[in-house]
Amino acid sequence: MDEARSRGRFGLIAVMAAIPLAVDLATKQMALAHFSPADPVSTLGGLLKFTLISNSGAAFSLGEGTTWLFTAAKIIVITGMLWVARRVRVPLWGVVFGLLVGGAAGNLVDRVFRPPSPMQGAVIDWIQLPYWPVFNIADMSVVCGGILAVVAVFRGITLDGSPVPDKAKREPKRDSS
Q: Which amino acid is at 177?
A: S
What is the three-class DSSP state of 56?
A: coil
Q: Given 24, 139, 160, 166, which residue is catalytic?
A: 139
- Nearest alpha carbon to residue 57 among 73, 80, 41: 73
Across 15-53, b (16+ Cβ under 10 Å) vs e yields ebbeebbebbbebbeebeeebeeeeeeeeeeeeebbbbb
Q: Establish whether 160 is a catalytic residue.
A: no
Which residues does 111 contact at the CB level (< 8 Å), separation at least 6?
67, 70, 71, 74, 119, 120, 121, 122, 123
Q: Given 2, 125, 166, 175, which residue is catalytic?
A: 125
Q: Establish whether 125 is a catalytic residue.
A: yes
Catalytic residue ranges: 125, 139
